[in-house]
């Protein structure tokens, strides 16, 4: 029997394939597993490199940057009003919230203040961006843990929020609506009643998710005690938002940030914390925050002041020389813009501090020693948006 | 079904019978699989998730399955360069074969079955393990780390859940006094509950614990949520199926749903009275036609429970799943066996 060249090659290939897998399995460091950049759990292009011993993570590292779009540099060659259209795309699920801190920083430099009505509507849209963002998180949480159904409910109910945002701004995802000194337009007719109905719907959704997921024994078994972040460790890694409030740190920039230009001080709301610091705590805090956000929107809709929606600003905006840093409590956590102006039409330098980038920086510490399925739970509960990491 | 030809008094050569049996088993595997995919995966899942599901292909989207199959057949057959080509190609067939072998022993009517095996249920449980082999082969031969993890998880899981499944069946076997599936159907038909024989004795009434253990084990054997770690799409991409595409993926897909149908049929036979209905004559010829329909209906009822859980629950972690099997299900089924034995001796 003669062996053809093709057979010989196939044999060598098969042996080589075995050998390659074996080499990686038999080294002392265990198997290196690349989770991402293309992987369903990273909803985007995050890459987590994990060394596994069986299914246990020995060592893990996060490699961001696969979606870097250079917004800080791009902002330097745009005028101030044009920058909002860029930063819309940082945290794409809660777009409007990205515009707010930048506009506030510019307002601070120009020493203008938006009228009361503009501040109220701005806050309403800010909180609706939070609702749109976290509703999707609550649904996606189920999908990450293997429950396929909640994510559809999330998309269904988020659509109503997006409809309302679209009715005001004309954009479902990228409103580009915030202006230095106020807003582009006033609210359309009948919008307030519709919005209140939508907020009621979102509260119903929160209840549904609480029943479906948070009360589920498997969900609790998967999340309780998994990925525990002690408060001091979380603070030292620069965690913010619900990720740090889940560790019991009572810190919310909406209340503690001293931000002018938003109307959170005018309404009655509560900062939720959870003492446990595990994945369940982080998810639970986000659920409560969504409810709180709908209440803020309701109250603001009720007490909407009259008056103009735009302060007096020049047609061509030149921002005087100076530096300003404004940080707000965005859906994902603290988001800040450090804006340096040299008196030109556009900013000289913009530094963007985004929440997700700091939040994922704890992952190498947090993932050490956990099991492979817990990686997914932890990634889901830290809740990052890839655009917010890479910018 | 093909054996029913015998009652029509037609003499068939052995090869003709074999050909008919082959066609019959294909029908028995593919029709329930297709029905399950359409009714549960396409429609029930959609309604649970407040959407319509496929609506365009045919009335109410009923031809969608044909479209999907056509699509898969057309797709390029990709084998990764580093994969072990022969094993990679073999694996889907091994998995599908196991489903065919399960259905071999399941009776659809008084004469409508493929093989009259005295060890019926023993055979079913034995051949159902063959699919593990196919999954392990697929996981290893793909030369993909996700596949490997998925394959190993599947092996660990399926072996762990074989035990509660077998132990759950033992209770039924004790009550029926036979391993033969036809005998189990007859035992349920002629049985009595505390002297009342109006509806026979479907073993779900006396073996309710066994029934639920069997269902949970079935869910795990089918690697469906909440036990879908081997293919956990958010962790392992698609587990052992990651590298498969086109026709080979279709085979895995058919195997998944056909085995859901097969296990549901076995559960219906063991616990719900199989193809028989209370009050009918078990030897009647028309039951060869009505029987398969009755079994299909009961099978759909069981499958409904399986898929309901699938679309509702999040998935367990690997260690939690093993704990459930070893610490809860197996002791529970052992207690169930003891209780059944004691009651059998007493009455």
pLDDT score of A38 more than 80:
no
User: For B116-171, what is each residue's pLDDT tens digit?
Assistant: 778 888 888 888 888 888 888 988 888 888 888 888 888 888 888 888 988 888 88
Query: Is A13 close to B82, i.e. CB distance below 8 A?
Result: yes
Interface with B, mutate which of A6, A10, A13, A14 (most B CBs under 10 A): A14
Q: For residue A153, is it within any domain?
A: yes
Length of chain A: 391
Q: What is the CATH number of the domain that holds A281?
A: 1.10.645.10
pLDDT for position A50 = 81
Specify the number of domains making up chain A: 1
- Tell whether A42 is covered by a domain: no
pLDDT for res A29: 62
Burial of residue A1 (number of CB atoms within 10 Å: 0-12, 13-18, 19+)? exposed
Residue A341 confidence (pLDDT) above 50: yes
Task: Give the pLDDT band (50/70/90) at residue A202.
Answer: very high
CB contact under 8 A, B84 and A142: no
Chain A residues with CB inside 8 Å of B316's CB? 218, 221-222
d(Cα B60, Cα B48) in Å, to the nearest integer?
17
Q: What is the DSSP letter of B111?
A: S
- How confident is residue B97, by pLDDT bands cut at 50, 70 and 90? confident
Q: Determine, yes or no, domain membership for A14.
A: no
Largest Cα–Cα distance in chain B? 67
Inspect the interface and report whether the beta carbons of B315 and A218 lie closer than 8 Å: yes
Q: Which whole number is the average pLDDT over B80-96?
A: 86
Q: Is residue A64 part of a domain?
A: no
Confidence of residue A344 (pLDDT cuts 50, 70, 90): confident
CA separation for the pair B245, B99 (Å, rounded): 20
Tell me the nearest-neighbour CA distance from B4 into chain A, angstroms. Answer: 43
* pLDDT for residue A19: 58
Domain-located, residue A129: yes
A31 touches chain B (CB under 8 A): yes
Structure tokens at B74: 């057309």
Find the Cα–Cα–Cα–Cα dihedral B325, B326, B330, B334, rounded to 10°.
-170
Identify whether B226 is preceded by a cis peptide bond (ω within 30 of 0): yes
Work out the percent of chain A whose per-residue pLDDT is above 90: 10
CA B113 to chain centre: 16
A372 in reach of chain B (CB within 8 A): yes
Q: Is the four-CA dihedral B225, A59, A243, A198 of positive or negative sign?
A: negative
Q: What is the chain B residue with the closest CA to A149?
A: B49
Residues of chain B in contact with residue A39, where contact means CB-CB under 8 angstroms, are 237
Cis previous bond, A37, omega within 30: yes
- Residue A315 — very low, low, confident or very high, per pLDDT cuts 50/70/90? confident
Summarize pLDDT for A371-380 with one digit per residue, the tens: 888 888 888 8
Tell me the mean pLDDT in the region A143-155.
85
Contact A39/B at CB under 8 A: yes
Q: Do B264 and B306 contact (CB within 8 A), yes or no?
A: yes
Beta-strand pair A178-179/A56-63: unpaired
Express each pLDDT in B205-220 by its tens digit: 778 888 889 989 888 8
Tell me how many helices (H) and strands (E) chain B has. 15, 0
Q: What is the pLDDT of residues B18-49, one digit of tens each?
A: 888 788 878 888 888 888 888 888 888 888 88
| Cα–Cα distance for residue pair B221/A131, rounded to 1 Å | 40
Tokens encoding B248: 């080979």
In this model, does residue A329 exceed pLDDT 80?
yes
Residue numbers of the domain that contains A91: 71-359
pLDDT at residue B3, as a whole number: 47
In a domain? residue A38: no
B173 Cβ contact partners less than 8 Å away, ≥ 6 residues apart: B121, B179, B184
Domain presence at residue A8:
no
Of B50, B83, B237, nearest to A40 by CB-CB distance is B237
- What distance in Å separates the CA atoms of residue A335 and residue A281, rounded to the nearest whole number? 22
Question: Does the residue A55 lie in any domain?
Answer: no
Q: Determine the Cα–Cα distance for residues A354 and A334; give it in Å rounded to an integer.
A: 7
pLDDT computed for residue A17 by the predictor: 65
Instruction: Note the pLDDT of residue A198.
Output: 92
| Residue B47 contacts A where some CB pair is shorter than 8 Å | no
pLDDT at B5: 46
Q: Encode pLDDT of B3-26 as tens digits.
A: 444 444 567 778 887 888 788 878
- Smallest CA–CA distance from B318 into chain A, residue: A373
What is the distance between the alpha carbons of residues A90 and A109, in angstroms, rounded to a whole number? 23
């Amino acid at each position: 029997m003669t062996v053809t060249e093709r057979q010989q090659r196939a044999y060598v290939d098969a042996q080589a394939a075995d050998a390659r897998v074996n080499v990686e399995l038999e080294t002392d460091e265990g198997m290196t597993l690349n989770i991402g950049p293309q992987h369903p759990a990273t909803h985007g292009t995050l890459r987590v490199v994990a060394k596994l011993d069986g299914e246990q993570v020995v060592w893990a590292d996060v490699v961001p940057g696969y979606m870097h779009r250079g917004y800080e540099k791009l902002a330097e060659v745009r005028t101030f009003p044009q920058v909002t259209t860029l930063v819309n795309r940082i945290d794409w699920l809660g777009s409007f919230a990205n515009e707010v801190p930048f506009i506030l920083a510019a307002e601070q430099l120009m020493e203008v203040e938006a009228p009361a009505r503009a501040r109220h509507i701005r806050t309403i849209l800010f909180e609706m961006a939070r609702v749109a963002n976290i509703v999707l998180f609550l649904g996606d949480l189920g999908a990450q843990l293997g429950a396929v159904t909640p994510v559809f409910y999330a998309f269904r109910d988020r659509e109503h929020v997006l409809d309302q945002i679209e009715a005001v701004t004309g954009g479902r995802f990228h409103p580009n609506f915030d202006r230095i000194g106020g807003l582009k337009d006033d609210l359309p007719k009948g919008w307030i009643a519709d919005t209140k109905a939508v907020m009621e719907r979102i509260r119903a959704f929160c209840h549904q998710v609480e029943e479906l997921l948070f009360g589920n024994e498997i969900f609790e078994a998967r999340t309780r005690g998994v990925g525990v972040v002690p408060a001091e460790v979380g603070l030292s890694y620069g965690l913010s938002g619900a990720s740090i409030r889940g560790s019991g740190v009572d810190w919310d920039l909406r209340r503690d940030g001293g931000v002018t230009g938003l109307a959170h001080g005018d309404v009655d709301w509560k900062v939720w914390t959870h003492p446990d610091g595990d994945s369940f705590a982080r998810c639970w805090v986000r659920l409560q925050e969504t409810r709180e956000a709908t209440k803020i929107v309701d109250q603001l809709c009720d007490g909407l002041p009259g008056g103009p929606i735009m302060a007096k600003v020049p047609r061509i905006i030149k921002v005087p020389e100076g530096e300003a840093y404004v940080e707000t409590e965005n859906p994902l956590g603290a988001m800040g813009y450090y804006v340096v102006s040299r008196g030109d039409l556009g900013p000289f330098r913009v530094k963007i501090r985004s929440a997700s980038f700091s939040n994922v920086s704890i992952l190498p510490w947090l993932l050490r020693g956990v099991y492979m399925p817990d990686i997914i739970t932890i990634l889901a509960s830290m809740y990052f948006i890839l655009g917010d990491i890479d910018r | 079904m093909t054996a029913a030809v015998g009652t029509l008094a037609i003499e068939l050569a052995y090869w003709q019978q074999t050909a008919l049996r082959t066609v019959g088993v294909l029908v028995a595997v593919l029709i329930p699989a297709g029905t399950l995919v359409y009714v549960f995966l396409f429609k029930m899942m959609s309604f649970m998730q407040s959407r319509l599901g496929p609506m365009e292909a045919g009335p109410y989207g009923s031809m969608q399955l044909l479209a999907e199959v056509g699509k898969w057949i057309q797709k390029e057959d990709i084998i990764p360069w580093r994969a072990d080509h022969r094993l990679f190609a073999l694996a889907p067939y091994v998995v599908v074969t196991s489903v065919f072998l399960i259905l071999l022993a399941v009776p659809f009517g008084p004469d409508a079955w493929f093989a009259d095996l005295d060890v019926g249920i023993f055979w079913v449980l034995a051949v159902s393990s063959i699919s593990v082999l196919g999954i392990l082969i697929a996981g290893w031969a793909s030369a993909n780390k996700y596949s490997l993890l998925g394959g190993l998880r599947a092996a660990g899981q399926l072996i762990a859940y074989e035990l509660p499944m077998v132990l759950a069946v033992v209770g039924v076997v004790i009550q029926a006094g036979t391993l033969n599936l036809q005998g189990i159907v007859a035992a349920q038909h002629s049985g009595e509950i505390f002297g009342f024989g109006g509806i026979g004795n479907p073993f779900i009434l006396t073996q309710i614990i066994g029934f639920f253990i069997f269902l949970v084990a079935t869910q795990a054997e089918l690697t469906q949520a909440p036990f879908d770690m081997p293919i956990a799409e958010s962790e392992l991409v698609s587990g052992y199926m990651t590298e498969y595409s086109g026709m080979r993926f279709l085979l895995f897909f058919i195997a998944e749903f056909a085995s859901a149908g097969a296990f549901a049929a076995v559960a219906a036979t063991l616990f719900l009275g199989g193809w028989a209905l209370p009050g009918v004559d078990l030897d009647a010829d028309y039951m060869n036609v009505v029987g398969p329909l009755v079994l299909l209906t009961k099978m759909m009822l069981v499958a409904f429970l399986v898929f309901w859980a699938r679309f509702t629950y999040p998935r367990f972690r690997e260690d939690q799943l093993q704990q459930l099997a070893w610490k809860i299900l197996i002791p529970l089924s052992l207690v169930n066996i003891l209780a059944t034995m004691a009651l059998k001796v007493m009455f």
